[in-house]
Amino acid sequence: MSDNSNLIPPHGGYCNLKSYQMSEIVYDATVKFCERFIDKRSRTTDQMIQAARSGKQNTAEGSMASGTSKKTEIKLVGVSRASLEELLIDYQDYLRQHGLPLWDKNDPRVLIQEF
Protein backbone atom coordinates (compact mmCIF):
# COMPACT_ATOMS: atom_id res chain seq x y z
CA MET A 1 0.00 0.00 0.00
CA SER A 2 1.44 3.40 -1.01
CA ASP A 3 1.53 6.53 1.08
CA ASN A 4 -0.84 9.13 -0.44
CA SER A 5 0.04 11.89 2.03
CA ASN A 6 2.17 13.62 -0.64
CA LEU A 7 -0.42 13.26 -3.41
CA ILE A 8 -1.40 16.91 -3.07
CA PRO A 9 1.58 19.09 -2.18
CA PRO A 10 1.33 21.72 0.55
CA HIS A 11 -0.62 24.76 -0.57
CA GLY A 12 -2.32 27.82 0.83
CA GLY A 13 -0.53 29.84 3.43
CA TYR A 14 -1.24 32.96 1.37
CA CYS A 15 -1.58 35.09 4.53
CA ASN A 16 2.19 34.73 4.94
CA LEU A 17 2.95 35.89 1.39
CA LYS A 18 4.28 39.45 1.14
CA SER A 19 2.32 39.83 -2.11
CA TYR A 20 -0.93 38.98 -0.30
CA GLN A 21 -0.11 41.21 2.68
CA MET A 22 0.66 44.15 0.39
CA SER A 23 -2.44 43.56 -1.74
CA GLU A 24 -4.54 43.60 1.42
CA ILE A 25 -3.07 46.99 2.36
CA VAL A 26 -3.68 48.25 -1.17
CA TYR A 27 -7.28 47.08 -1.03
CA ASP A 28 -7.98 48.72 2.33
CA ALA A 29 -6.26 51.97 1.25
CA THR A 30 -8.18 52.01 -2.04
CA VAL A 31 -11.52 51.70 -0.25
CA LYS A 32 -10.56 54.64 2.00
CA PHE A 33 -9.22 56.67 -0.94
CA CYS A 34 -12.42 56.19 -2.93
CA GLU A 35 -14.59 57.06 0.08
CA ARG A 36 -12.67 60.29 0.53
CA PHE A 37 -11.82 61.47 -2.99
CA ILE A 38 -14.11 59.81 -5.57
CA ASP A 39 -17.86 60.24 -5.90
CA LYS A 40 -19.36 57.03 -4.52
CA ARG A 41 -21.83 56.95 -7.45
CA SER A 42 -18.96 57.05 -9.93
CA ARG A 43 -18.10 53.97 -11.95
CA THR A 44 -14.48 54.77 -11.14
CA THR A 45 -15.12 53.95 -7.48
CA ASP A 46 -16.49 50.53 -8.39
CA GLN A 47 -13.67 49.87 -10.86
CA MET A 48 -10.88 50.82 -8.49
CA ILE A 49 -12.25 48.89 -5.54
CA GLN A 50 -12.93 45.84 -7.71
CA ALA A 51 -9.42 45.94 -9.20
CA ALA A 52 -7.90 46.14 -5.70
CA ARG A 53 -10.13 43.32 -4.48
CA SER A 54 -9.27 41.19 -7.51
CA GLY A 55 -5.56 41.67 -6.84
CA LYS A 56 -5.99 40.39 -3.29
CA GLN A 57 -8.48 37.61 -3.95
CA ASN A 58 -6.66 36.14 -6.94
CA THR A 59 -3.44 35.96 -4.95
CA ALA A 60 -5.28 33.94 -2.30
CA GLU A 61 -7.04 31.72 -4.86
CA GLY A 62 -3.78 31.11 -6.73
CA SER A 63 -2.10 30.06 -3.51
CA MET A 64 -4.89 27.61 -2.72
CA ALA A 65 -4.88 26.22 -6.28
CA SER A 66 -1.13 25.60 -6.18
CA GLY A 67 -1.64 22.25 -4.51
CA THR A 68 -3.47 20.77 -7.48
CA SER A 69 -2.66 22.90 -10.52
CA LYS A 70 0.41 25.02 -11.14
CA LYS A 71 -1.22 26.20 -14.38
CA THR A 72 -4.21 27.58 -12.45
CA GLU A 73 -1.91 29.12 -9.86
CA ILE A 74 0.08 30.94 -12.55
CA LYS A 75 -3.10 32.08 -14.30
CA LEU A 76 -4.57 33.51 -11.09
CA VAL A 77 -1.33 35.25 -10.15
CA GLY A 78 -1.34 36.79 -13.63
CA VAL A 79 -4.91 38.03 -13.12
CA SER A 80 -3.86 39.47 -9.77
CA ARG A 81 -0.93 41.34 -11.30
CA ALA A 82 -3.06 42.65 -14.17
CA SER A 83 -5.73 43.90 -11.75
CA LEU A 84 -3.17 45.73 -9.64
CA GLU A 85 -1.64 47.27 -12.79
CA GLU A 86 -5.11 48.48 -13.80
CA LEU A 87 -5.48 50.04 -10.35
CA LEU A 88 -2.08 51.73 -10.62
CA ILE A 89 -3.16 53.33 -13.89
CA ASP A 90 -6.37 54.56 -12.23
CA TYR A 91 -4.30 56.24 -9.51
CA GLN A 92 -1.98 57.78 -12.13
CA ASP A 93 -5.03 59.05 -14.05
CA TYR A 94 -6.36 60.64 -10.87
CA LEU A 95 -3.08 62.46 -10.27
CA ARG A 96 -2.85 63.64 -13.88
CA GLN A 97 -6.48 64.81 -14.01
CA HIS A 98 -6.08 66.74 -10.76
CA GLY A 99 -2.73 68.31 -11.67
CA LEU A 100 -0.91 66.47 -8.90
CA PRO A 101 2.68 65.19 -9.14
CA LEU A 102 3.61 61.53 -9.09
CA TRP A 103 6.18 61.08 -6.36
CA ASP A 104 9.21 58.89 -6.93
CA LYS A 105 9.34 55.87 -4.64
CA ASN A 106 12.45 57.37 -2.98
CA ASP A 107 10.83 60.75 -2.36
CA PRO A 108 11.06 61.61 1.37
CA ARG A 109 7.30 62.36 1.39
CA VAL A 110 6.68 58.67 0.64
CA LEU A 111 8.35 57.43 3.81
CA ILE A 112 6.02 56.53 6.64
CA GLN A 113 6.65 58.69 9.63
CA GLU A 114 5.76 57.59 13.14
CA PHE A 115 3.76 59.98 15.28
Cβ(72)–Cβ(62) below 8 Å: yes
Q: How confident is the model at residue 67 (pLDDT cuts 50, 70, 90)?
A: confident
In a domain, 9, yes or no: no
pLDDT for 1: 46
Q: Which domain holds residue 72?
A: 14-100
In a domain, 112, yes or no: no
The CATH number of the domain holding residue 27 is: 1.20.1440.60
**1-56 tens-digit pLDDT:** 455 556 666 776 888 889 999 999 999 999 999 999 999 999 999 999 999 999 99
pLDDT for 8: 64
pTM, 2 dp: 0.83
In a domain, 52, yes or no: yes
pLDDT for 113: 65
Nearest alpha-carbon partner for 83 in 57, 61, 65, 103: 57
In a domain, 106, yes or no: no
Domain count of the chain? 1
In a domain, 87, yes or no: yes
In a domain, 3, yes or no: no
